[in-house]
Chains A and B, each alone.
With several copies, the nearest count.
Chain A
Amino acid sequence: MSEGLTHDKLDWNELKEERAQVLASWPTGREVDLDEALEFHRKLPAELNFAKRLLQAKAEGKTLAQPRAGVADLNSHLQLLLYLQDEGETDLLPTTIDSYTRQNRYEEAEKALLESVREGRSLLNGFPAVNHGVAGCRRIVEGVSRPVQVRHGTPDARLLAEITLAAGFTAFEGGGISYNIPYAKRVPLGDSLRYWQYVDRLVGFYEEQGITINREPFGPLTGTLVAPCISHSVAVIEGILAAKQGVKNITLGYGQCGNLVQDVAALQTLTSLAEEYLRAEGIEDVELTTVFHQWMGGFPKDEAKAYAVIALGSTAAALGKATKVIVKTTHEALGIPTKEANAQAIRTTKQVLNMLQDQALPESPALAEEREIILQETRAILNKTLELGEGDWALGAVRAFAAGVIDVPFAPSTFNLGRTMPARDNEGAVRFLQWGNLPFPKDIQNFHRAKLEERGRAERRPPSFQMVVDDIYAVSHGRLVGRPR
């Protein structure tokens, strides 16, 4: 699949054959009619267009809230979204796709969907949009009064994109790296990059016809001690790759690490880095916004404590002026949330966002230093990646992962080297105990070493893997830094 991979724009006409194959891979593919879809999008009121809603928020300096949600059955899913809209007071809506669909296992999804309808409860952890087809999905878009995004974790989302965009969804999460490395084991990175060029090219086609679709690389990756430089590198690369295919409205993501200064510095550097590298590619007409994910690692089981984690994430998002924040729930450590728990978490989040709406983390030397660290680390990774790719970002990404120049901690993919070992420093910022092959200059290496030694001294133990394990459990056990018990 990935033979001859480059970051250049795919030729829409040459894609015809591939599109025919993709649409034939499951019966509902037949329902896709681009002309009819464009017509539908043109009639969609502006406030239901996800891309426009984000730009409005950005202009107003507001942070919007968005939950995750998806169940198997169509009517139940629509009811769920309406509940989150009306009782959750949400700004943006999601449609989270189930895990079989994410692995293109539509038959299994179909079986579980039927069983779900029969048993009257969802046996799927999301909404099987491909199985519901264009007409089914459109009932969602037409049934709600907030913009809706497709959220998933699919290495090959070509059919899912064809169907949901034709149905009228106006935002599509994911990317060739971020929906492969944390979400797959054996899908070659070149393959998923190519699949996602197809998706981006499709979005680019809509854009050429005057319909702006928002695209959002998945920021948090494995959600577990992912330092900003790793997720920023992936976000910038996926942003460039999307822009090359004609995407004009991109939301870059980052998952809360937990140290307020690091989190705000991460948000502040995310778009500036992307702009810097886009400009270097001669791309100046892309609208960038940011998304902050509330804590993506293990949660406390106690709902009262989970509220604290949710509010802290909202605080960082607000003080860092993210364009939107993805909301967790108090059921995070219990299972897929009820609609009530989901709505409550959105309201908690919105109260924090509203109360902090007019405030930002004040500029300070600590914040500036943290930004500088993130900028230097990310540039080191990105520059090396481009060098490996001999000027091509797609090739560069494949080679950078193979070489461990980009290396996502705890990732299941065999195409990720897995040599880095993150751990928190004494103030809870995520640093590297081992940076593997990350191309860090000496002073950055020393910085990480010093930071972990400082923690080691405070804890009277040498920096070691036990710190990592303690850090992984820490938030669910009620703290940020995994101190020795």
Chain B
Amino acid sequence: MESKTVVLGVIGADVHAVGNKILEIALTEAGFHVVNLGVLVSQKEFVEAALETNADAILVSSLYGHAEIDARGLREALIEAGIGDILMYIGGYLVVGNQEWSEVEAKFKQLGFDRVYPPSTLPEDFIPTLRKDLGL
């Protein structure tokens, strides 16, 4: 089985590193080739890494509440780079405070994310879906 490449990182000025390390381990154990950019990752770094590694998906984390601002324009930057149709997920604490989930989800879908995950998502909660979305 050929292994799919995913780019992983925590966007913006966010330094929450623990979930990122856990995701790297879980995705690697699940057979993915993981390119982990760590924390404090800019949009540019995400785009470049996806291009360079010919990635199949981008997994964006945001824990600290600024995702709304930080993720704006990422899909557009990917389109501009010629990989506009790459699969893209986002997960974490996406907004400041505890807002109605359906609204949060809609907001980030509109920003171009294919799937949006709420706080406390466990690896086993989304990895099966990721495999399906990547045709595994």
Contact = CB atoms under 8 A, between A and B. Distances in A.
B13 interface: yes
A338 B97 contact: yes
A184 B40 contact: yes
B102 interface: no
Given A123-B69, A476-B120, A336 B97 contact: yes
Given A103-B13, A222-B18, A185 B66 contact: no
A102 interface: yes
A479 to B, nearest CB: 16
A122 interface: yes
Interface in B1-57: 12-15, 17-18, 21-22, 25, 38-40
Contacts, number: 88
B119 interface: yes
B96 interface: yes
> Interface residues of B toward A: which range?
20 to 34
A100 interface: yes
Given A99-B13, A338-B97, A412-B17, A185 B40 contact: yes
Nearest to B122: A473
A225 B43 CA distance: 31
Contacts of B12: 99
Given A99-B66, A100-B13, A222-B17, A469 B22 contact: yes
A100 B69 CA distance: 11
A184 B66 contact: no
B66 A125 contact: yes
Contact of B69 (A108, A185, A297, A411): A108
Nearest to A104: B13
Interface stretch (A272-280, A327-335, A445-453): A327-335
A183 interface: yes
11 contacts: A99-B14, A99-B64, A121-B96, A125-B96, A184-B15, A185-B38, A334-B119, A335-B93, A336-B98, A338-B98, A472-B22
Given A153-B15, A301-B119, A335-B95, 13 more contacts: A112-B69, A115-B69, A122-B96, A123-B66, A185-B38, A222-B18, A333-B120, A334-B119, A335-B99, A335-B119, A336-B65, A336-B97, A338-B97
